Copies of this chain bind each other. A is one copy, B any other.
Amino acid sequence: MPEARPAAFAGQKIVIVGAGLAGTLCAIMLAQRGARVEIIERQTFDPKDDYSNRRSFNVTVSSRGEAAMKAAGIWDRVKARTIAITGRTCHEGLGSTFFSYSRDRSVALHGARRSDVNGELLAAAAEHEGIAIRFGWTLRDLDKASGALTIAPVASDAPAETIGDADFVIGADGVHSAVRRLIHRGERADFTQRYLDWNYREIAIPAGPDADHPWRMDPNSLHLWPRGDLMMFALPNPDGSFTGNFIYPCAREADFAAIGLVGEMFRREFPDVAALVPDAEERLRVTPPSYFPTQRNSKWSHGDRFVLLGDAAHATVPFYGQGMNSAFESVLELVSCLERFPRSERARAFEAYQSARKPHTDAVADLSIENFDELRSRFRHVVPQARRRVEVLLNRLLPNAFVPLHVRVSHSLEGYRTAIDACARRDRLLRWFGFDLLVYAAAGGQIAATALHRVWHGGTGLSEHLARRRAVAAAHVEAEALLPGDPSSERPA
């Protein structure tokens, strides 16, 4: 990313539809380069609003998001709203196991409430004299040729207004983008929207009574409860609470109407969470369900007047923690393309931006769905576990040559597609050198050890519990893979 060039956008007016994460960051970067920016946002902004019932997965800032916020000079203030996450804790029954992202907990993601990061970005934007934000206005229509927008207030009957003097418009209005719909109207634009067969409901795990250390689980950890068809995540908040997400098959949506059904299941599968949230069932019942859409579209811009950004261009499911990080990479790429081409060739800049980003955003969308399947159910299969073990072994032997995929995704700035392809090539090569034999040997060893243990100890109760614990540990040992020298990794505060 080049240094901010104050003149690059001087004299230009840019309208951004949507004051979410991507739109606000983009506004800041454009204003830093001389543009006048006007943001149109449908919602009204209340810094105290916790955005619950809106968008409830906490965000995790990884290397990519950090690099983008550093480029905009706002990382320090955003970082102050986050909490360092140095590993994952896997909960099985009443026990739990921690797996560090690095041997000494020196590598961290930065977790935060989405609304806290968004609020901090909005505050930074509001301080910039080049940025004006109109809350409570919605896009009603647009003129594809001239770039004019018709906007209307959401809550009042005040008449619609026209913004006709923008050089161009950025549609950063999220998964259900109105800009996307309006620029696609009458155009050849392929579009796919697929939902996972799982829904989720947020459930807050409240802070404890100890003001010095209010967290009632490890605060520097992503907490996971994998249960096959069911799953729970919890991410720490700086105030001592955790944002929990309960994930269930959409076919079980009706269960929430039957009193007792969800509570019983919740206490059985997540006894430790149920102990921390006594009224879990009632809380889950009153929370509306949220869904997991993945979207792809073949047309991210229209002429030299409109371009899409963030979820409006490439919505993904959150299971690799890359939604915001990927959106922020798109912000960097868009600004960089606009700087690289002369203003008269803005349409080409938009095309270059899509060409540069789409292979990677499509790749991370697939990867995020695969990771959900892995988190939910891979724990029970011996061969994938063995594969992980062998990968970690190789990584320990050759820490700079053999870097696992998840490290290249979460702790590097390499393109997603590039990382995936490089790992696939490496894995093909390893297969020639007997990697699969090694994996099957390790799997065979594990099966034999479990069987021996069972014969030796006779009973099945304890040994099965232990085997399950070991299986979980095997799947998670990946997290301990060594990281190559990564300038963006941070020690937790």
- Copies assembled: 2
With A176-B185, A181-B181, A185-B176 known as contacts, the answer to whether A192 contacts B192 (CB < 8 A) is yes
Between A187, A188, A189, the greatest number of chain B beta carbons within 10 A of the residue's beta carbon is seen for A188
Closest B residue to A253 by beta carbon equals B188
Residues of B within 8 A of A187 (CB): 291
Q: Which of B191, B199, B250 contacts A193 (CB 8 A)?
A: B191
Closest B residue to A176 by beta carbon equals B185
Residues of B within 8 A of A193 (CB): 189-192
Q: Are B190 and A195 within 8 A (Cβ)? A: yes
The contact string, 1 if C-beta is below 8 Å from chain B, for chain A 177-213, is 0000100011111111111000100000000000000
Residues of B within 8 A of A291 (CB): 187-188
Give the interface SS of chain A, mostly helix, strand, loop or mixed. Answer: mixed
**In the complex, what's the smallest C-beta–C-beta distance from A312 to chain B, in angstroms?**
15
Residues of B within 8 A of A185 (CB): 176
Q: Are B189 and A195 within 8 A (Cβ)? A: yes
Q: Which of B176, B186, B191, B250 contacts A192 (CB 8 A)?
A: B191
Give CA–CA (A186, B188) in the complex, Å. Answer: 25
Give CA–CA (A194, B194) in the complex, Å. Answer: 14
Give CA–CA (A192, B297) in the complex, Å. Answer: 10
Residues of B within 8 A of A191 (CB): 191-193
Give CA–CA (A126, B392) in the complex, Å. Answer: 74
**In the complex, what's the smallest C-beta–C-beta distance from A233 to chain B, in angstroms?**
20
Give CA–CA (A246, B193) in the complex, Å. Answer: 31
Closest B residue to A197 by beta carbon equals B188
The contact string, 1 if C-beta is below 8 Å from chain B, for chain A 76-90, is 000000000000000
Q: Are A190 and B181 within 8 A (Cβ)? A: no
Give CA–CA (A291, B186) in the complex, Å. Answer: 9
**In the complex, what's the smallest C-beta–C-beta distance from A156 to chain B, in angstroms?**
14
**In the complex, what's the smallest C-beta–C-beta distance from A349 to chain B, in angstroms?**
20
**In the complex, what's the smallest C-beta–C-beta distance from A157 to chain B, in angstroms?**
9
Closest B residue to A297 by beta carbon equals B193
Give CA–CA (A402, B193) in the complex, Å. Answer: 40
Give CA–CA (A192, B294) in the complex, Å. Answer: 11
**In the complex, what's the smallest C-beta–C-beta distance from A338 to chain B, in angstroms?**
24
Q: Are B192 and A188 within 8 A (Cβ)? A: no
Q: Which of B176, B181, B250 contacts A188 (CB 8 A)?
A: B250
Q: Are B190 and A194 within 8 A (Cβ)? A: yes
Q: Which of B188, B192, B195, B199 contacts A195 (CB 8 A)?
A: B188
Residues of B within 8 A of A190 (CB): 193-195
**In the complex, what's the smallest C-beta–C-beta distance from A313 to chain B, in angstroms?**
16
**In the complex, what's the smallest C-beta–C-beta distance from A303 to chain B, in angstroms?**
14
Give CA–CA (A195, B191) in the complex, Å. Answer: 9
Interface residues of A (CB under 8 A from B): 176, 181, 185-195, 199, 250, 291
- 12 A-B pairs with CB atoms under 8 Å apart are A176-B186, A181-B181, A188-B199, A188-B250, A188-B291, A189-B193, A189-B195, A190-B193, A190-B194, A190-B195, A191-B193, A192-B193
> Shortest 7 CB-CB distances between A and B: which pairs?
A191-B193, A188-B195, A188-B291, A192-B192, A190-B194, A190-B195, A176-B185
Q: Apart from A181-B181, A187-B291, A190-B193, list 5 A-B contacts with CB within 8 A.
A: A176-B185, A188-B291, A191-B193, A192-B192, A192-B193
